[in-house]
């Protein structure tokens, strides 16, 4: 394996700042160019899943692990005694470019603790990215975290330089956020910064200037009593108001010596169901209000949200030879790709056999109870499989 040349001091910083950054990553299924769900992690390098298979190796690192905030779920909280250190922008840019030129990292994911204030922190992060883009000529993938409370100019510059920007909302509302992070403010410091990022993206896109392709966010799930309904309602609103792309979910796990060290860890299946519900909002045309919450506002864990929705609502089978795309997307086992293939195929031929559906990518076991093939229920055919 090729040796990575990193100055000794930077190497020590990397062990700390790369390790802590890796702790922050949420797990997620792939769906767009780089989903940033973990396929595999090795210290500060992790393999992000790509749509259509394969992975991209990202270097995930903090500019600093010093932070003046005391978020109760966070390893970097100032309430936890630990060794603190920071990368200077030059140092971090040199470290990353060394990894990149040796093809050990294909992209950068830069986050940071906040110290002494939002703008100073953001300025250092932007300094790192500017050195990469302008001095080193690096044109590869950069995901840059926006710092809550950063000024408009900083947000705009981040949008100019990065491929993706994100700001972790952590919770669906101020009320829930206050339980997780008593020092953080939801509406002005976080939501408004996302609005600014979206406005800057739209303005640059309109005149053909390069800019970040998407905005993402992340939620800590299970430590503030939030319901899935609250999360999905906030995500739906964010999609509408700030063009939110992906949402990531991090099932809470207690951190030693933190104020939440005694709280139970959240069931990872809850995060998995939230991802599936978020797909329904984003790619399947569902509204948040349609999702199959129970009386406590939670999604079922034993079946997918789409299956649960179909069991409650899909009382009439869908004729695959005639149904519009939106109706096909409501059928379990039919996704956006298989719906498009199905619509293309039925222009050429009448669909009469479940083997035809299978060849188009439909998951037969899920779809069969809910579809008609040329007026016939495929249950009898299914029994022969």
Query: Could you list the residues that contact ligand SF4 (CB under 6 A)?
Result: 67, 69, 71, 74, 76-77, 113-114, 181
Minimum Å gap between C-beta 67 and ligand SF4 is: 3
Could you tell me if 49 and 106 are in contact, meaning their C-beta atoms sit under 8 angstroms apart? no
Question: Which is closer to ligand SF4, CB of 160 or CB of 170?
Answer: 170
Kindly state the tokens that stand for 328: 């096909």
Closer by beta carbon to ligand SF4, 78 or else 129: 78
Rounded least distance, CB 323 to ligand SF4, Å: 46
Least CB distance to ligand SF4 at residue 17 (A): 11
Residues in the chain: 385
The DSSP secondary structure of 10-79, one letter per residue, reads HHHHHHHHHHHHHHTPPP----SSEEEEEEEEETTEEEEEETTS-EEEEEEEESB---S---TT-TT-TT
Q: At what angle do helices 192-206 and 152-161 cross, to 10 degrees?
A: 50
Nearer to ligand SF4, 38 or 66 (CB): 66
Contacts of 362 (CB under 8 A, 6+ apart): 333, 334, 338, 342
Q: Cβ 73 to ligand SF4, closest distance in Å? A: 7
Query: Minimum distance between the CB of residue 250 and ligand SF4, rounded to whole angstroms?
Result: 11
Question: Whose Cβ is closer to ligand SF4: residue 66's or residue 367's?
Answer: 66
CB of 177 to ligand SF4, least distance (A): 11
Tell the smallest beta-carbon distance from residue 111 to ligand SF4 (Å). Answer: 8
Whole-number Å distance between alpha carbons of 151 and 354:
57
Q: Nearest 5°: CA angle at 38, between 31 and 68?
A: 110
Q: Which is nearer to ligand SF4, 64 or 338 (CB)?
A: 64
Q: In whole angstroms, give the CA distance from residue 274 to residue 270.
A: 6
> Nearer Cβ to ligand SF4, position 69 or 366?
69
How many CA atoms does the CB half-sphere of 94 hold within 13 Å?
12
Nearer to ligand SF4, 71 or 373 (CB): 71
With CA atoms as reference, report the closest residue to 266 among 277, 254, 256.
Answer: 254
Question: CB of residue 87 vs ligand SF4: minimum separation in angstroms?
Answer: 15
The nearer residue to ligand SF4, 65 or 234, going by C-beta atoms, is 65
**DSSP structure class, residue 370:** G
User: E strands, the chain, where?
Assistant: 34-42, 45-50, 55-62, 107-111, 141-145, 164-166, 214-221, 247-251, 318-319, 371-372
């Amino acid at each position: 394996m090729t040796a990575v040349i990193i100055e000794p001091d930077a190497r020590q910083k990397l062990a700390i700042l790369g390790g802590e950054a890796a702790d922050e990553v949420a797990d997620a299924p792939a769906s767009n160019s780089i989903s940033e769900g973990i396929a595999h992690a090795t210290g500060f390098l992790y393999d992000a899943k790509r749509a259509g298979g394969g992975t991209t190796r990202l270097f995930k690192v903090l500019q600093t692990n010093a932070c003046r905030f005391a978020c109760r779920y966070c390893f970097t909280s100032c309430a936890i005694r630990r060794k603190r250190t920071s990368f200077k922008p030059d140092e971090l840019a040199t470290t990353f470019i060394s990894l990149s030129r040796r093809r050990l990292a294909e992209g950068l994911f830069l986050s940071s603790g906040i110290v002494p204030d939002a703008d100073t922190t953001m300025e250092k992060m932007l300094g790192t990215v500017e050195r990469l883009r302008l001095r080193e000529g690096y044109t590869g993938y950069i995901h840059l975290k926006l710092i809550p409370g950063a000024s408009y100019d900083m947000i705009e510059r981040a949008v100019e330089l990065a491929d993706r920007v994100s700001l972790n909302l952590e919770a669906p509302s101020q009320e829930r956020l206050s339980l997780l992070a008593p020092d953080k403010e939801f509406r002005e410091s976080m939501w408004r910064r996302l609005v600014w990022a979206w406005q800057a993206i739209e303005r640059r896109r309109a005149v053909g200037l390069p800019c970040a392709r998407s905005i993402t966010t992340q939620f800590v799930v299970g430590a503030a009593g939030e319901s899935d309904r609250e999360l999905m309602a906030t995500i739906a609103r964010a999609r509408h108001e700030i063009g939110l792309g992906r949402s990531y979910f991090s099932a809470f796990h207690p951190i030693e010596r933190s104020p939440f060290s005694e709280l139970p860890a959240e069931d990872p299946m809850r995060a998995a169901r939230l991802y599936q519900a978020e797909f329904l909002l984003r790619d399947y045309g569902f509204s948040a209000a349609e999702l199959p919450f129970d009386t406590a506002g939670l999604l079922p864990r034993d079946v997918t949200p789409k299956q649960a929705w179909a069991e409650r609502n899909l009382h009439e089978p869908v004729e695959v030879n005639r149904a519009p795309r939106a109706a096909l997307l409501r059928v379990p086992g039919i996704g956006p790709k298989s719906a498009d293939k199905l619509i293309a195929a039925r222009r050429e031929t009448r669909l009469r056999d479940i083997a035809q559906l299978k060849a188009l990518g439909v998951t037969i076991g899920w779809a069969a109870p809910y579809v008609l093939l040329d007026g016939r229920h495929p249950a009898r055919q299914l029994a022969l499989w």
